Structure 1
Amino acid sequence: MADTRFDALREQVRGQIIEAGDPEYDAARAVFNGMVDRRPAAVLRVSQTADVMAAVRFAREVGLDVALRGGGHSAPGFGTVDGGLVLDFAARRGVRVDPAARRAYAEAGATWADYNHATHAFGLASTGGIIGSTGVAGLTLGGGIGYLARKHGLACDNLISADVVLADGSFVKASESENADLFWALRGGSGNFGAVTSFEFQLHPVDTVHVGIMFFDATIGADVGAAYREWIAAQPEEMGAFLGFHQGPPVPFLPEEWHGRPVAVIGGMWTGDVDAGPAHWQPMLDAAPVLGSMFAPMPYPALNVMFDGLSGVPGLQGYWKADFLRALTDDALRVAVEHSPGIPTPHSANHFYPIDGAVSRVAADATAFPYRDVAFAPVIAGQWPDASENAANIQWVRDYWADLHQYSEPGGYINFQDADDQSRIEDNYSGNYARLAQVKATYDPDNFFHINQNIRPAA
């Protein structure tokens, strides 16, 4: 029997509403993580902000849960919900650039590939994700770690304002001068406070960068990691590079006998003078025997999509864990090396992202993102194609995380966490949690927006 509830909503929106039984339903309900198989009552392909306002009011009236889907990358599948209404922003991917003011205005469905394509035309950029298909909205609202973080701060540090539809369906703007408490909470507090429909960012001159990727035998990963931590700490903030552990990918600059075998990798970019790039990479080339490497000047957007074929593949099974490390200790590196033989597929990885420099110059309570005094954000990202291997691969992620967590801070980066990390939510926000709960009580006292790493309203 057809669900007639949505007839009223159709009269109030311009976007397409897709329900079970419609030919497009299965495609419309799919999210990035193939492990997530939820059946919403309907998916609204948002056409404009007015659609969001009407949909929120409608969902409140009929008692439907609402999930917000920007880029759709959420590992826990927070972009969908059983029996509820999904607001899908995939059609709202516009990015407008004001080069004179160095501002970018991104709609809620834009990916970082969309964003970087638009801003690069003017030789500008701001901190975005490591994967081009990651959504601007989700990454920014959760903090936003990326290659440019050491030089220009987190994505949320570059946010100037946001347009937000609140839980009562009203529209507000959040900035330092308007709804400043909401603006504070949006910068790291995730989708807890409303549906953000547009973002305004500060841009910086970033054009051609010097990209570097180096592979090493994972068995010497502890030595490589020790050299890396000294090297990255000594490098100017123009160097943005992570340490990772992978299965060797099938790339031409890695010998074929290493494809599928455990490797350590250092990858990233030098954003200073391009001609100076080789000299800044050289200490890591000298640190240990290199299996294969690639160095080249590239447009910044080219690096941002370089790993999409490995980690940016939709439909893979996925399970993630994350922490913060005050230091990349020998113990943390030992754990990484010990667990590297179990990396399930070339799509999986353990990365250690540096978040010092400009990130640490922002006070812990200046935004909702509190971990400003740590040095690295590790992520254990398990991704594989075969659902029959879920139990074993999930266990690999959990075992790895359990061994690493004993050397970590209590909290972790929410953008790298999974659905079963909800118990860590207070630790993730540390001393900022109480204020976040108060802001939640002000803007969403009924916890309408709860399909997320949820911050409950203060009593």
Structure 2
Amino acid sequence: MTLELGVVLDPALPPATMAALAQRAEEAGLDMVVTNPGDLDPWTTATWLLGSTKSIPIGVALAPVATPDPRDPEAGYPSVAGRARDSLDLLAGARLITDPSAWTLAPADPSPADLERAAAANLPVVVPASTEAEVDRLARLLIEHRGPRPTGPRRTSSVRAKRLPGIAYDEVPASLAETAVEPGDPAYRTVRSTYLRGGRPGLVLRPTTPPQVADALAFADRHRHLPLGIRSGGHGVSGRSTNNGGLVIDVGGMNTIEVLDTATRRVRIGPGATWKQVAAALDPYGWALGSGDYGGVGVGGLATAGGIGYLSRKHGLTIDHLVAVEMVLADGSIVRADREENPDLFWGVRGAGANLGVVTAFEFEVYEVAEVGSAQLTLVVPDIEEALLRFGEMAAEAPRDTTVFLVTGRPRPEGSVIQLYGLVDSPDPEVIVERLTPFASLGALVQQQVILAHYTDVMNQAHDIGPDGHHGHGEPHARSGLIPGLTSEFARDAAQLLRTGDVYFFQLRTMGGAIADVDPTATAFAHRNAAFQITAMGGGTEALDTAWSLVQPHLEGLYLSFETTRSPERVADAFPPATLTRLRELKQRFDPTNLFRDNFNIDLSEMNR
């Protein structure tokens, strides 16, 4: 039985004395301060004490608010009182306790035996105190009973009651204790979910330095029985950066962006930065670094998977401009990987990084980009099969400076609505119009926006995550694939997939160009000859798989960032045999115990077959 000990303050004390005693109790390591308001207003008293302290819970005994008598102007209203309580508790960091049954009272000047008897109720024990000497005596009794207070934030009994079995919460490393988030903490709602996926992890660790990442991995290693998610921006379609009941290591706070060398345009970027932030930081220099198509995506996930975006046909994938990484391996070692130091690890990070460690910093050599043409076109087409085929021809034949993505969904009676999102890497309006005009002829143009903009303006269309975090719900269901060309057979089968009605989001990302200039063996992302990347999303796994089977015969590989199925077959689709063999060898060297298993796991058991 762990003794929790606090003080009860007499409401007759001067307000300054009450505040001073509450502060003294907090400094001395006591667990709670309780006051009986007496003639004072309870909310004002609670606010005064909460504002005078930083972390200690404050208890104020309040009688339940009965249904008000409308004839009594002094009567309280339950909804108003409840909202006031919840608001004050939120603002104070979940430190307000208003239920008097949440603590038990011991006599003044208690003996150790008195405390033992009171603690038998398994509740915090509070003792009357009116001087600092009395507070200090209680602190000494507490230390004699349980030793010095452990590091980390104070958590009330009600918060600790929401802890899940199987997690050693009181053994969280000291370096992470202050920022760790448990299910009962007020910050939990801001970290539990990702952009698309709802989650209820048992503990979220938030390191901000490589040594803290190492501490987090050591803690995760002692909890192998639990799922483990690694999160940077929390946007990933795959949803692997949250879970139910497990651990999440959130590196979102490692989000610095630093220019290392203006001559070579080398920049260092933390995994928690978003591509919107990266674009804004590079824009004053006239630089850019292509990412995906949405600025709210975190750097960490995309920059270890590939990076198929609006600038890829002109400049290559995001990973093609990566020159070095700093990362923490499964054993806690902090290493650098580039073409000279740990070159094999550097090869694997560029396409399969989630299996090998946690990247804590990326170094890129970015490129100059002037103003660009950014376009959004909405068209209605009577025949989606014909429109897909024509789009494929136009997109593949377009110059490298032009990249257009197509998005569509379930057909409507009046035809299929397609949205085209394009970028022309040119500041010349005439060139922009020339490049985009063919795409506008795909159907009846019902809406268009074409602007001359900086790349940061394109990325800035993403919403900020905000202090409330992501609020995804449920489980996303997405399938991903790569095709070497958009043939008439593929257009036919993709149109049939859409007509099933089981796919509400279907995207074609145009590849080719500079992506194919890189040797397929140069990085773990090996599908350099793909012409298009395809994503389909549906409401359920079974129906989506049935629809997806229509286009499956046309696929040659997949892009992991948009895939939610983690079966071994999907991993084999993502990496050609020679690439997968080499990745298994790296996995054996850098993560032999398979700590990084809850992603698209490279299974070491296959090495012995």
**What range describes the TM-score normalised by the shorter chain of this pair?**
0.7 to 0.9
CA-to-aligned-CA distance 1:239-298 (integer Å, 9 cap, x gap): 1111221479xxxxxxxxx99973122221100233221111122234543232221112
Q: 1:17 is paired with a residue of what secondary structure?
A: coil
| CA displacement, residues 415-455 of structure 1 (integer Å, 9 cap, x when unaligned) | 11003444321221013000000011010111111111111
Q: How does 1:97-176 map to 2 (within 5 A)?
A: 97-98=259-260, 99-176=262-339
> Structure 2 counterpart of 1:424, which letter?
R
* Cα distance between partner residues in 1 of 2:211 and 2:301: 21
Aligned: 1:77 with 2:239: yes
1:130/1:54 CA distance change after superposition, 3 Å: same
Compare 262-271 and 188-197 and name the one that shifted more. 262-271
Q: 2:479 aligns with which of 321, 346, 371?
A: 321
Within-5 A mapping of 1:49-64: 49-61=210-222, 63=224
TM-score by length of 1: 0.87
Q: Structure 2 vs 1, CA of residues 151 and 405 (structure 1 numbering), >3 Å: closer, same or farther?
A: same
Greater Rg by CA: 2
Is residue 65–residue 448 contact of structure 1 (8 Å, CA) maintained in 2? no
What does 1:189-338 correspond to in 2, within 5 Å? 189-246=352-409, 262-275=416-429, 276-306=431-461, 314-317=471-474, 318-338=476-496
The equivalent of 1:429 in structure 2 is: 575
Quote how far apart the aligned CAs of 1:15 are: 5.5
Percent sequence identity over aligned pairs = 29
Q: Which runs of 5+ in 1 are unaligned?
A: 249-257, 383-389
User: CA 1:303–1:320 in structure 2 vs 1: closer, same or farther (change >3 Å)?
Assistant: same
Aligned pair partner of 1:372 in 494, 517, 528: 528
1:283 alignment partner AA: P
Give the corresponding residue for 1:350: 506
Residue 137 of structure 1 and its aligned partner are, at CA, apart by 0.9
Distance 1:213 1:23, change over 3 A: closer
Cα RMSD for the two superposed structures: 2.7
Match of 1:37 among 199, 204, 207: 199
**Cα distance between partner residues in 2 of 1:39 and 1:57:** 18
Aligned to 1:387: none
Residue 19, structure 1, aligned to residue 182, structure 2: yes
Deviation, structure 1 residue 150: 0.6
- Residues 212 and 268 of structure 1 are in contact (CA less than 8 Å); yes or no, is this contact kept in structure 2? yes
Q: Which moved more, 1:72-81 or 1:427-436?
A: 72-81
1:414 aligns with 2:560: yes
Rounded Cα–Cα distance in structure 1 between residues aligned with 2:222 and 2:566: 30
Deviates more, 1:321-330 or 1:211-220: 211-220
Contact 2:396-2:531 at 8 Å conserved across structures = no
The answer (yes or no) to whether the contact 1:149–1:355 under 8 Å persists in 2 is yes
Q: Please list the CA deviations of residues 1-51 of structure 1 after superposition, one character each: whole Å capped at 9, or x if unmatched.
A: 8568343434233751112322222332222223x43432x1112222221
Letter paired with 2:280: H
The SS at the match of 1:359 is: helix
Letter in 1 for 2:436: W
**Per-residue deviation, 1:374:** 1.7
Q: Which structure's relative contact order is higher, taking Cα pairs within 8 Å and 6+ residues apart?
A: 1
Give the match's secondary structure for 1:323.
strand
Q: Quick one: distance in 1 between partners of 2:189 and 2:399?
A: 48
C-alpha distance 287-424 of structure 1, shift in aligned 2 (>3 A): closer
| 2:238 and 2:562 in contact (8 A); partners too | no
For these two proteins, the number of residue pairs brought into alignment is 434
Deviating more after overlay: 204-213 vs 314-323: 314-323
In structure 2, the CA distance between the partners of 1:338 and 1:147, relative to structure 1 (3 Å rule), is same
2: distance between equivalents of 1:246 and 1:177? Answer: 46
**How much does 1:356 deviate?**
0.5
In structure 2, relative to structure 1, the CA distance for the partners of 1:342 and 1:24 (3 Å cut) is farther
Q: Measure, in 1, the Cα distance between the counterparts of 2:492 and 2:408.
A: 12
**Following TM superposition, by how much is the alpha carbon of 1:316 offset from its aligned partner in structure 2, in angstroms?**
4.9
- Shift in CA distance, 62/288, structure 1 to aligned 2, threshold 3 Å: closer
Cα distance, 1:314–1:116 mapped onto 2, change above 3 Å: farther
| SS in structure 2 of the partner of residue 352 of structure 1 | strand
Gaps of 5+ in 2: 1-156
